[in-house]
Amino acid sequence: MRLSAFVLAARLSQVAAAASLRLEVMSAGRYQLEHTDAGRGNARAGLGLRVVDAWTGQDRDPATLSGGETFLASLALALGLADVVSAEAGGLDLETLFVDEGFGSLDDTALDQVMTVLDGLRAGGRSVGVVSHVAELRQRIPARIHVKRDQSGSTVHTEHTAIA
């Protein structure tokens, strides 16, 4: 294995470990991510990630996840990457995160768990931008920017409400 590949594999293991902590929360303890060496050297093997399913006690290929579960895993990986970069940059804080769609594939419980994680990021000082058409999110996000398109162009409307 080349040195660069070794370093990247080690970094991916760190990201997977950080993402696993996030995914475990968002999936109510059901899922964790694990980096494996399976398929190493095979260009089509992907990232070598497996999903550990606590409900079945089995490891799963990420391709077997549903749309909502895939969204959770993807969000967990993005947050895990941000966690690793922040830790390695001397605590440099990545202050802004944008999440574009994916919420429509979540059931109410999963949506609550994701919003709890995003609310925690916000409470920790990060700005979290959410791009979504899910009506329920309007009740959960205090500051909103609405973009409306019509034949004459686009208009922007901002709104801020207190969250109970």
Q: Domain ranges in the chain?
A: 3-160
Task: Name the superfamily (CATH) of residues 3-160.
Answer: P-loop containing nucleotide triphosphate hydrolases (3.40.50.300)
Q: State residue 122 phi and psi, 5-degree precision.
A: -65, -45
CA–CA dist 95, 84 (Å, integer): 14
Long-range Cβ pairs for the range 149-154 (8 Å, 24+) = none
Going by pLDDT thresholds of 50, 70 and 90, the confidence category of residue 164 is low
pLDDT value for 54: 97
DSSP-derived secondary structure for 116-155: HHHHHHHHTT-EEEEE---THHHHH-SEEEEEEEETTEEE
CA–CA dist 36, 47 (Å, integer): 8
Q: Could you read off the pLDDT of 101-148 as tens digits, one per residue?
A: 788 888 889 888 998 898 888 888 888 888 888 888 877 888 888 889
Q: Could you read off the pLDDT of 13-49 as tens digits, one per residue?
A: 999 999 999 999 999 999 999 998 765 555 555 678 9
Q: What is the DSSP letter of 42?
A: -
